[in-house]
Amino acid sequence: MRHIISIGDFDRDGINRLLDHAGQIDRKKYDAQALDGKILAVLFFEPSTRTRLSFESAIARLGGTSLTVGSVEACSIAKGETLADTIRVVSGYADAIVIRHPKEGAARLASEFSTVPVINAGDGAGQHPSQTLLDLYTIRQSMPIDGINIALIGDLRYGRTAHSLASALSLYNARLHTLCPRGLELPETLSARLEEQGMEIIAHENITDIIPEVDALYVTRVQRERFPDSASYFNVASSYRITPELLADAKKHLIVLHPLPRVDEIDPRVDEMPHAKYFEQSRNGVPVRMAMLMQVMQ
């Protein structure tokens, strides 16, 4: 594989191999000069500082050099020329391109014009494969992914990370529990496709029903702008808030994940509990992205 555009480009074996490789890297078994002398353009057409830093850290850990184009610059490029032209030009400066773009399909388009490998770092409502791979990696650190009971909580309509994760989990016989504000349900086309692939999806109305049942909580942020007013936002947000009290009923091995940043979705007191894996999840972005970089660059 020369490009990594979508988690859908991977089969289960492909994912497992990449996660195995990330695991080796995590145990410091990697060549810190693997990308020595290589230049990687990090082209962010919208800001996403965490993702950018995680990729740049991965590049540096492998001895490569980042050529960063932040969102302000990238947007000014975008006004002057087509994405195709920008990619052709940047291809001439770098040995690979990591692209973030607000428009779905932009990464695929970039891969068609690039003369060097392209990694999708998130394109609009589209794909964000590195996030999904690090989510899976974090689950696998605690338990086998196969047959997992996982709850997706929050904005399931617009939450790209939840979509990609659900798709990938359909390869692992997972059971999906969902909890979300009315109107922010999983898109029907997605849930239909998942069920067709044999995934069981159980919609819940109440957080307390979910907690004792599942192995993992995947909490995402509900944006205030999705609600007509602050009151209804706070009403919903507080009814989902993960607290130590709520987790009293959880299985001992339950893990709490969150793609970050979290705002009010998780009580800071949860941070100290063994269930809390979201900061580790964030840290896991580095070895997972190192494995992705090695895959496209070799």
Tokens 């690979």 belong to which residue? 96
Candidate ranges 13-21, 133-141, 225-233, 257-265; the one touching a second copy (CB under 8 A): 257-265
Among 1, 2, 8, 49, binds a second copy (CB under 8 A): 49
Under the criterion CB under 8 A, does residue 279 sit at the interface with a second copy? yes
Among 103, 226, 241, 283, binds a second copy (CB under 8 A): 283
Nearer to a second copy, 202 or 260 (CB): 260
In contact, 246 and 207? CB cutoff 8 Å: yes
295 vs 20: CA distance, rounded Å: 12
143 vs 114: CA distance, rounded Å: 38
Residue 16 makes CB contacts below 8 A (sequence gap 6+) with: none
2 has binding-site annotation: no
DSSP 36-98: TT-EEEEEESS--HHHHHHHHHHHHHTT-EEEEE-HHHHHHHHHHS-HHHHHHHHHTT-SEEE
Under the criterion CB under 8 A, does residue 270 sit at the interface with a second copy? no
Backbone angles phi, psi at 141, to 5 degrees: -65, -25
Among 176, 285, 292, 293, binds a second copy (CB under 8 A): 285
Under the criterion CB under 8 A, does residue 223 sit at the interface with a second copy? no
Under the criterion CB under 8 A, does residue 234 sit at the interface with a second copy? no
Question: Which CB contacts under 8 angstroms, 24+ apart, belong to 221-228?
Answer: 221/154, 221/155, 221/159, 221/261, 221/262, 221/263, 221/265, 222/154, 222/155, 222/180, 222/181, 222/184, 222/265, 223/155, 223/158, 226/155, 226/158, 226/181, 226/183, 226/184, 227/181
Under the criterion CB under 8 A, does residue 34 sit at the interface with a second copy? no
User: What is the smallest separation between the CB atom of 89 and a second copy, expressed in angstroms?
Assistant: 5
Nearer to a second copy, 12 or 224 (CB): 224
160 has binding-site annotation: yes
Residues 4-33 vs a second copy: string with x where CB under 8 A?
Answer: ----------------------------x-
Helix (H, G, I), strand (E, B) or coil at 129: helix
Under the criterion CB under 8 A, does residue 60 sit at the interface with a second copy? yes
Residues 90-119 vs a second copy: string with x where CB under 8 A?
Answer: xxxxx-------------------------
Binding-site residue ranges: 50-51, 79, 100, 128, 131, 160, 221, 260-261
Point out which residues bind a second copy (CB under 8 A).
32, 37, 39, 41, 47, 49-50, 53-54, 56-57, 60-61, 63, 65, 67, 69-70, 72-74, 76-77, 80-82, 84-85, 88-94, 260-263, 268, 279, 282-283, 285-286
